[in-house]
């Protein structure tokens, strides 16, 4: 599940031109606490 979330974040990083490492570091609390909250396309 986490790999899918991270992979989804990679795709979002490509779409919005966000550095992958920065995006992963920023999304770690969301992955631990809210699961798919940060990877949901509706939140962007």
With contact defined as beta carbons under 8 Å apart, do 15 and 42 qualify?
no
> According to the model, what pLDDT value does residue 39 have?
57
Mean pLDDT of the chain: 54
Per-residue model confidence as pLDDT tens digits over 8-20: 555 555 555 555 5
Torsional sign, CA 21, 44, 11, 2: positive
**Band of residue 1 on the pLDDT scale cut at 50, 70, 90:** very low
Q: Give the mean model confidence (pLDDT) for residues 33-42.
A: 55
The pair of three-digit structure tokens given for residue 15, joined into one six-digit string:
């779409």
């Amino acid at each position: 599940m986490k790999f899918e979330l991270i992979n989804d974040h990679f795709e979002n990083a490509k779409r919005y031109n966000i550095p992958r490492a920065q995006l992963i570091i920023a999304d770690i609390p969301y992955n631990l606490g809210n699961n798919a909250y940060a990877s949901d396309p509706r939140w962007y």
